[in-house]
Structure 1
Amino acid sequence: MSRIRRMIDWFTLASVPDELLVAQHDELKPQIPLLYAFLSLNAIGIAYTHYGLAPFWMTVWVPSILGAATVLRLVAWFTRPLGTMSVVAVQRHLRITMGLGALLSMIYLAWAFGLDAYGHTLQHAHIAIFIALTVMGCSFCLTRLPQSALCNIVIVTVPYVLHYAFSGNPVYVAISLNILFVTLAMVRVMLNSASSFEALVRTQSELTRLNHEMTGLAHTDALTGLPNRRQFFAKLDEELRRDEERQGEVVVGVIDLDRFKVANDTLGHIVGDQLLEACGQRFREVLGPDVMIARLGGDEFAFLTYGSPGETWALAVRVCQEFAQPFIVEDSSVFLGASCGLATTRDVSNDANVLYEAADYALYRAKAEAPGSAVYYSAEHESEIRQDRATEAALRTADLEAEMTVHLQPIVWVKDGSLKSVEALARWTNPELGSVGPDVFIAIAERSGLINRLTKILFRKALHHLADLPEDISLSFNLSAYDLTNHETILSIVALIRQSGVRPDRLILELTETAVMQDLETARTAMDLLHRLGVCIALDDFGTGQSNLSYVHKLPIDLVKLDRSFMANIDDPSSRNLVCAAVSLCQSLELTCIAEGVETAEQFALLQSVGCDAYQGYYFSKPVPAADLVADLTQANGSVGL
């Protein structure tokens, strides 16, 4: 019973896969004109040979009506564009084709047998040939729809064979048997062809599915499920080409997770991956389905949207606010935060790379000026970029050995006013740009990949000046995050120390909290190497980084330098209490505490009252050329009367 059920389902197309139905329909369309042309020509031929022998209505009206039906079927087929019909419509159309095909087969057969009653021997032979050729020709035209071809074969061939097998004429009996065997062979070939076609369609369908999957994987971030960089820029290019047709502006937002690196290094990469997945989900919830959000790599994301500056600004601010809320990972609250840079086609040309770079620069300004906020790219930024590019170009072509100099700023002990160390500060004077501030060229050197080369040049000069200073004076030198995480730079620093002949314990290398936490394990390795050499390690700009002193006992840190912001508002009791707390914490950890940015007697008095170890700032001395300080110290024989 099940076999009969399967056969019925196959003949009615109920069990035929959707992709095979569509393929059969598309393959049949170019065959249908041949089928109806074949039928029409054969009908005209048989009507012509019987004209005058058979009744007028059989040789004129019947073929005319059949021809009209043929034209109507052709119109029905060609008014349906290829590949635009639904699967249900395709199935319905093929079933109609099968039903009408069976009906036309019966009508043609009945008409042919009716004509066979008229004429002579040649006309009878023509009828036999007409029926045989018609069933074979139609079957070949319907090969891609074997259900219809088999129906037509059964409807025509069975009556044909029976009619001629019992005609009593041995010639027609032989013809009927020949047609039967040929038809059986043709059916076998047709079924084999149908099976091969079905396998081909199945293979193509699988290849299409795999291709879609591969395309999806190639354009999707595997961790978050968001579009990746490739997909983002492809979509951005597409939308920029359509920008003129849109109402509103194309807006790109670039987002960076402020404290992800710290969380990833301290909590582990597994937790880091879980955080990124959670970030992807939160982005979807905040931005909604109409805004494309992509992960560009690491902890950098970007979104693409449209609208006015006010609308997109509000959207970016909402993202930053939502990411200020904690993530719950493994029953722990993790605070990340996010900063966003925005750029729009209103202010930037319709070029994907330029638009992205503008948003990325706005992100840089957001992280530098107000982490956790959103900054829109503006004409002011355009001017800054041109200036930065000019500075970068000058840095790349400059004779840095000749143009870079080192200034020294004394670090004085609060208790007795003695000068025990100095900080080396970089200065650059370029023939074309003039004097360029370190806050400008250091940041550009970091972004352009020139910082490691610059560090080596300045460190060599600083060591040269340290050799000229009295033996009881140490020198502090700043390392950037890029220096600390670059193995080659750290080894070069070690080599320069050994080549200089200076005692390593006279060197203090200053590292910011941000630099240390950017890649904690790499930073720890570098710090351990330098500390074993005898170099002292200072944590610089404490109070502005991403963490606190809770990790100090885990790292080889000898000194802490309080950021100048601690001293800026000492009239405020809360600021005075903060200074007191920071100094007390250093004392409890047995770390030397140095205050930066001391400019007034009131600030100095506060440091005395709380027991701070040392200070530096304009209250004692601004940075001066190294040669001048060396000369003054030599003349004063090590006193601090500068």
Structure 2
Amino acid sequence: MFPFKRWSGSRLAPAARVELRRSQYRAFLQQVPLLYAVLIVNTATVAITHLRVAPVYLSVYAPVLLCLFCVVRVVMWLRSRRRVLSDDALARRLRTMVWMAAGMGTAFTAWALSLYPYGDAYARSHVAFYMAMTVIGCIFCLMHMRVAALLLTCIVIVPFTLFFGSTHNPVLVAIAVNVLLVAVVMVMILLIYYRDFTTLVESQIQLRTKQTETQRLSDENFRLANLDALTGLPNRRRFFADLDGHLAPLQGYARAPGSLAIGIIDLDGFKRINDLYGHAFGDRVLEETGRRFAAQITPQVSVARIGGDEFGLMVVGATAYRQLLDLGDALTAVIERPYVLPEGAARMSASIGFANFPEAGETTLQLVERAYYALHFAQAHRRGGVVIFSPEHETQIRHLSKIEESLRRADFEREISLHFQPIFDTALREIMAFEALARWTSPTLGVVAPSMFIPVAERCDLIHALTEVLLRKALDTARSWPETVRISFNLSARDLTSAGALDRVIRTTLASGVAPHRIDFEITETALIQDFGQARTALDALKKLGARISLDDFGTGFSSLNSVHRLPIDKVKVDGSFVAGIEREATARAIVKSIVDLCQNLGLTCVIEGVETRAQMTALRELGATVMQGHLFGKPVAANLVLDTYVREPLLPWL
């Protein structure tokens, strides 16, 4: 077989060789009509000049067959010129063209030389002219097919030179030599052209390769810039870009309800897992969470990681109330499944807040704010559940906005006051402490509940100033109490996580004149969850001051035995929700009994909140609890009434 590969760019890489073949093939297809036109016209002309002098099989039949073959090849070319060939099919097609060029060159050369003996000198010269001109024209048409062109040159020029050089006719010999020289020049031109053609193809391949690599790197950079490396989900940037993209065509005129909704998902208990098992384990949990969420993604639902343990959810199309609830329930269900990893096992839940377009908002900012509000509502009232932002929530937001506006203008010294509720030791039959409870009477809003204005103060960074005023007033009141009575004061999570705020708490305490050992600083489990390390540092500083630490609302959050053991806690306050049915509910009794026993084993004081009836008190006493707080022992009273109400008068003589 002819060494086609050696002559077809084998020095190129495989991909480059394939591209070179395709370029050769495309260029050759452009020359096919001209190639066969040259053959048909030249052959017909020679045949006509030999009609009367050559046998009919040479002057008619042979040229007709050769021309018909050329016509058939042109028709086949017209049918296949738009066909896309595979790499293997293309290589076979090129090899076929090489051998076809050899066969056609042999056939046309043999036919022309067979005509030479017939006719006069002019007819014979026509044959020589035909062969010379035809082969030169074919070489030009085969410029892009180097192997075929060289093979055709050899097949035609060598017999032509030998044949006419042996005629001993000076004119024909000169023609043979002339054509040979022209053929040599043509071959040189062919080789130079093919080299330049190959170089051009190579440069185009390299350029496309660079462009492809550049595009690949650009796509990869774009992917990485929009992908969360840990979970494999889209990141915050991608989430908000997609949200803006979906909102843009909906705003203004295409405001069909139910066309778009977003959700914010928060993993309840993830910070506890991080604190207990370490960040490496937490990362593994997030990876698994990403896989679970990815399995829920559909063309209508997308999930992205937008924060540490927060995920964004975008729902396009079916966003009816029931559908969103079902989707939320499905997502919370996959999170509630146990996380069984090589390092250990963990469980947590997820709360989800949804905001629907355009009911909850028409801009990205509005929708996100409403979704966060629904999320916080879920965490406050139905942790581990799903909440969809509603008109009632909008009313609450407006009310909170009014509270924030009034709070920013408030004169804390004049408007903020304190009430005090006793904490009673039923074993000693005496008050052991008073808890300071904030009260706010706004000139514009009237009396505002602490459950409303304290969270607002935390959110708008007014809590530090509020804490400073409240602590100073509380300690001023406690100075007039007996030395044996303690004061219990609530610190915000923000107070513990801010070094400046903690310093102000310590300075206010030292300047009050109240002995630090008489002060109990109450903290909630929320403060621990937000930043366990910083909370531990802050509590250590308060302990060094001489104060005692109380963990409030125990049992309602995500604290663990390990957290209690690792913190410098002196007292645990059990949330009142466990007390409501304590005299008749075995589960509530078992929980309270476990906490009481835990506190006794760790040497902690256990305070039971929310005691309203003697039956509850009796049940708690049977479980081992002695220190209690609730309306049974006294309601909160103003600072100026504490002494007269609870200290100077006998307390509950019937106990």
The answer to whether the superposition gives a TM-score over 0.5 is yes
What is the letter of the counterpart of residue 639 of structure 1? R
Structure 1 residues 117-266: aligned runs within 5 Å: 135=139, 139=143, 149-159=145-155, 162=158, 168-169=173-174, 170-240=177-247, 249-266=259-276
What is the letter of the counterpart of residue 150 of structure 2? V
What is the letter of the counterpart of residue 227 of structure 1? P
- Per-residue deviation, 1:374: 1.8
Task: Decide whether the 8 Å contact of 2:281 with 2:343 is kept in 1.
Answer: no
Task: Give the equivalent residue in structure 2 for 1:281.
Answer: 291
What is the letter of the counterpart of residue 202 of structure 2? S
Q: Distance in 2 between matches of 1:70 and 1:531?
A: 99
Task: Give the equivalent residue in structure 2 for 1:566.
Answer: 578
Q: Distance in 2 between matches of 1:552 and 1:600?
A: 30
More displaced 10-residue stretch of structure 1: 311-320 or 427-436: 427-436
Structure 1 residues 472-511: aligned runs within 5 Å: 472-511=484-523
In 2 relative to 1, CA 468–237 (structure 1 residues): closer, same or farther, beyond 3 Å?
A: same
In 2 relative to 1, CA 44–387 (structure 1 residues): closer, same or farther, beyond 3 Å?
A: farther
Task: Give the equivalent residue in structure 1 for 2:54.
Answer: none
Task: Decide whether the 8 Å contact of 2:258 with 2:357 is kept in 1.
Answer: no
Q: Distance in 1 between matches of 2:376 and 2:549?
A: 28
Q: Deviations over 1:488-537 (max 9, x none)?
A: 43333234334445432232211112322443333222211221121210
Aligned with 1:599 (options 604, 612, 621): 612
- Per-residue deviation, 1:154: 2.8
Q: Distance in 2 between matches of 1:102 and 1:241?
A: 62
Task: Decide whether the 8 Å contact of 1:411 with 1:614 is kept in 2.
Answer: no
Task: Give the equivalent residue in structure 2 for 1:146.
Answer: none
In 2 relative to 1, CA 492–37 (structure 1 residues): closer, same or farther, beyond 3 Å?
A: farther
Secondary structure, aligned partner of 1:570? coil
When the two chains are superposed, the root-mean-square deviation of aligned CA atoms in Å is: 4.9
Q: Distance in 1 between matches of 2:454 and 2:463?
A: 7
Task: Decide whether the 8 Å contact of 2:353 with 2:372 is kept in 1.
Answer: yes
- Per-residue deviation, 1:174: 3.1
Structure 1 residues 17-36: aligned runs within 5 Å: 17=15
Q: Distance in 2 between matches of 1:551 and 1:424?
A: 26
More displaced 10-residue stretch of structure 1: 357-366 or 461-470: 461-470
Task: Give the equivalent residue in structure 2 for 1:423.
Answer: 435
Task: Decide whether the 8 Å contact of 2:425 with 2:628 is kept in 1.
Answer: yes
Aligned with 1:639 (options 632, 637, 648): 648
Q: Deviations over 1:303-346 (max 9, x none)?
A: 34453433442232133234333221237431112222233337
TM-score by structure 1 length? 0.77
TM-score by structure 2 length? 0.76
Q: Deviations over 1:224-277 (max 9, x none)?
A: 223323333344445556887999744433322211111111111121122222
Q: Distance in 1 between matches of 2:301 and 2:23?
A: 37
In 2 relative to 1, CA 119–245 (structure 1 residues): closer, same or farther, beyond 3 Å?
A: farther
Aligned length: 617
Task: Give the equivalent residue in structure 1 for 2:309.
Answer: 299
Task: Decide whether the 8 Å contact of 1:20 with 1:202 is kept in 2.
Answer: no
Q: Mind listing any 5+ residue stretches in structure 1 that lack a counterpart?
A: 143-148
Aligned with 2:545 (options 514, 530, 533): 533
Q: Distance in 2 between matches of 1:436 and 1:25?
A: 81
- Per-residue deviation, 1:413: 2.6
2:568 matched to 1:556? yes
Q: Deviations over 1:103-147 (max 9, x none)?
A: 6898799989979998999999999688657745764xx5xxxxx
Secondary structure, aligned partner of 2:306? strand
- Per-residue deviation, 1:463: 4.3
What is the letter of the counterpart of residue 276 of structure 2? T
- Per-residue deviation, 1:202: 3.6
Task: Decide whether the 8 Å contact of 1:256 with 1:299 is kept in 2.
Answer: yes
Task: Decide whether the 8 Å contact of 1:476 with 1:509 is kept in 2.
Answer: yes
Task: Give the equivalent residue in structure 2 for 1:372.
Answer: 384
Task: Decide whether the 8 Å contact of 1:262 with 1:519 is kept in 2.
Answer: no
Task: Give the equivalent residue in structure 1 for 2:603.
Answer: 590
In 2 relative to 1, CA 403–383 (structure 1 residues): closer, same or farther, beyond 3 Å?
A: farther
What is the letter of the counterpart of residue 315 of structure 1? L
Q: Distance in 1 between matches of 2:180 and 2:414?
A: 111
What is the letter of the counterpart of residue 224 of structure 2? L
More displaced 10-residue stretch of structure 1: 473-482 or 596-605: 596-605
Q: Distance in 2 between matches of 1:577 and 1:441?
A: 35
More displaced 10-residue stretch of structure 1: 100-109 or 464-473: 100-109
Q: Deviations over 1:382-438 (max 9, x none)?
A: 32233334434444x424545651313132333455444332333334444443322
Secondary structure, aligned partner of 1:227? coil
Q: Mind listing any 5+ residue stretches in structure 2 that lack a counterpart?
A: 52-58, 117-121, 165-172
Q: Deviations over 1:449-475 (max 9, x none)?
A: 554454445444444544565554433
In 2 relative to 1, CA 613–32 (structure 1 residues): closer, same or farther, beyond 3 Å?
A: farther
Q: Distance in 1 between matches of 2:257 and 2:14?
A: 47
